[in-house]
Amino acid sequence: MSSLGTEQQPLQVAIVGSGPSGFYVAESLLKSDTAVRIAMIERLPAPFGLVRYGVAPDHPKLKEVIPVYDRIAQSPQFSFYGNVTVGRDVSVAELRNAFHVVVLASGAESDRRMGIPGEDLPGSYTATEFVGWYNGHPDFQDRSFDLDQEVAVIIGQGNVAIDVCRILAKTVDELRHTDITAHALDRLATSKIQEIHLVGRRGPAQTKFTTKEFRELGVLADCDPVVDPADLALNPESQAELSDKRGAVAKKNLEVLQGFLARPSRGARRRVHLRFLLSPVELKGGTHLDRVVFERNQLKGGPFEQSARGTGSREELAAGLLFRSIGYRGTPIPGVSFDPKQGIIPTRESRVTDEAGAVVSGLFATGWIKRGPSGIIGTNKPDAVATVQSILADLPSLDTGPRPGNAALAALLAGRRRVVSYRDWQAIDAAEIKRGLSEGKPREKFTRVDEMLGVLP
Ligand code: NAP
């Protein structure tokens, strides 16, 4: 019988990615009866993935999971390898030689495209890059966004679209004491945006917003929500959705819209226009976006299966700034199969499959790179538990040959990379918190990898 998973022969696991999905896999493994050693590998010197770089700076409560991850990282069975890119500094094949199990938890780093003419005109950006920019993600610090425009359009009606909308709509005073970067705050302070159109391709009963987030658009300091009453007339299928318990959130969101409609305008400096049944079909402009062409849609299909179909009727909106916020996409990892259509790694019960559909022994995926970009932070917890169940179920069939784990990884990386340990990260963390103190901010993030490494001895 295999003794893999005992203190004599602990299960050596490498987790690629340090966002919520990676940390919940580590937690679930550590809570199991199996003796494990975990190496978590992260491309950036800073851990926590979308909790650090995706969660909006004005939603600090969502970051309260960080102390939980911090406790996991303090476990003697856990080691952190920051500033290491899998596929560049170390290959998946090398990891599979060094560890019994490799878990890919790399999230969804890219975004879906609209696939329309003019999509790449200056003035048209992705929510991903804007969110990364204001949250201090090193990949996006050289981007500049044309906030000298008066009219902005956001395509998509999910929670990311709401985050982008709020950051554009809020006053500097509403953001000043958050962990938004100083650079982003300075640029937003000079923003000339007055009108923000938050545009959905389907109707007011099909928004993907969380109601709490949506309601917040009604309590901004200097921005009024605007709703066209004609937009709130629902077709019978949408009415059926709202009277079903699966439509509970949509029903509350509709109540929020009705509340916006009932309130008188306060004459605020900015307005958010909630727009429905419109799909962008072309972005126009010579050297810069100046008009968005929409096609009006109607809904087709039964309750909960309604999709947007173009009616042929078009309208144009003069706008010089557009963010598409229509969903994230995973990116491939060299040496691992990838489904380009869905932007995920193909799996069977979290076990990665190869191009022929066969399970690759010892290789697993979890979180958004496995199931696609859906759900909130906590959704990754049961997902990770399911991943770990598959790992533990496979223990008897895993190759029990020598897997030196950390020792092998450290040897591979020596000379290739300045590895950032968890202790190193704690030094960076402390330095960021100190930088934020004088401004009354929870932290002032370092936005460049070199700055982070500069803190370390
Ligand atoms: P999402 O919730 O899937 O929303 C995507 C939006 O884009 C939907 O309105 C979708 O419309 C629309 N869309 C997709 N393709 C389109 C196209 N070709 N043209 C026009 N519209 C299109 O995605 P997300 O906002 O990126 O959020 C990702 C996940 O993170 C979600 O689960 C979200 O709840 C979560 N998140 C949570 C928080 C929070 O809890 N505070 C914050 C941020 C993100 P259809 O419905 O018609 O497809």
Are 383 and 370 in contact by the 8 Å Cβ rule? The answer is yes
Specify the ligand 1 atom closest to the Cα of 308: 47
Q: CA 255, CA 265: separation in Å to the nearest integer?
A: 18
> What does 290-348 look like in DSSP terms, one character per residue?
-EEEEEEEEEESSTT--EEEEEEEEEEEE-SEEEE-S-EE----TTS--BTTTTB--EE
SS3 261: helix
SS3 384: helix
Are 102 and 363 in contact by the 8 Å Cβ rule? The answer is yes
Sign for the CA dihedral angle at 199, 204, 208, 212 comes to positive
Residue nearest to atom 41 of ligand 1 (CA): 159
378 lines ligand 1 (CB under 6 A): no
156 lines ligand 1 (CB under 6 A): yes
| Side-chain-side CA neighbours of residue 164 (13 Å) | 32
Specify the ligand 1 atom closest to the Cα of 307: 47
Ligand 1 centroid from CA 375, angstroms:
10
Q: What is the pLDDT of residue 2?
A: 58
199 lines ligand 1 (CB under 6 A): no
Q: CA 199, CA 180: separation in Å to the nearest integer?
A: 25
Mutate to test the pocket of ligand 1, among 154, 159, 198, 323 (most ligand atoms within 8 A of CB): 159
407 lines ligand 1 (CB under 6 A): no
373 lines ligand 1 (CB under 6 A): yes
Kindly report the length of the chain.
457
Specify the ligand 1 atom closest to the Cα of 114: 18
Q: CA 174, CA 168: separation in Å to the nearest integer?
A: 11
CA distances from 168 to 174, 179, 195, 288, 440 (A): 11, 16, 10, 20, 21
pTM: 0.96
Specify the ligand 1 atom closest to the Cα of 156: 7
Ligand 1 centroid from CA 108, angstroms:
13
Q: What is the pLDDT of residue 15?
A: 98
Mutate to test the pocket of ligand 1, among 129, 201, 210 (most ligand atoms within 8 A of CB): 201
Q: What is the pLDDT of residue 3?
A: 86
Residues of the chain where predicted confidence (pLDDT) is lower than 70: 1-2
Q: What is the pLDDT of residue 399?
A: 81
216 lines ligand 1 (CB under 6 A): no
213 lines ligand 1 (CB under 6 A): yes
Q: What is the pLDDT of residue 337?
A: 97
> What does 51-62 look like in DSSP terms, one character per residue?
HHHTS-TT-GGG
Token pair listed for 18: 């340090």
State the average pLDDT for the chain. Answer: 96
Token pair listed for 17: 């990615």
Q: What is the pLDDT of residue 319?
A: 98
Ligand 1 centroid from CA 253, angstroms:
15
Are 153 and 322 in contact by the 8 Å Cβ rule? The answer is yes
Q: Which stretches does DSSP call E strand in 29-72?
A: 36-41
Q: What is the pLDDT of residue 218?
A: 96
158 lines ligand 1 (CB under 6 A): yes
What DSSP element (H or E) covers 197?
Answer: strand 195-199
159 lines ligand 1 (CB under 6 A): yes
CA distances from 109 to 19, 132, 137, 328, 384 (A): 11, 10, 12, 7, 19
372 lines ligand 1 (CB under 6 A): no
380 lines ligand 1 (CB under 6 A): no
- 325-348 pLDDT per residue, tens: 999 999 999 999 999 999 999 999
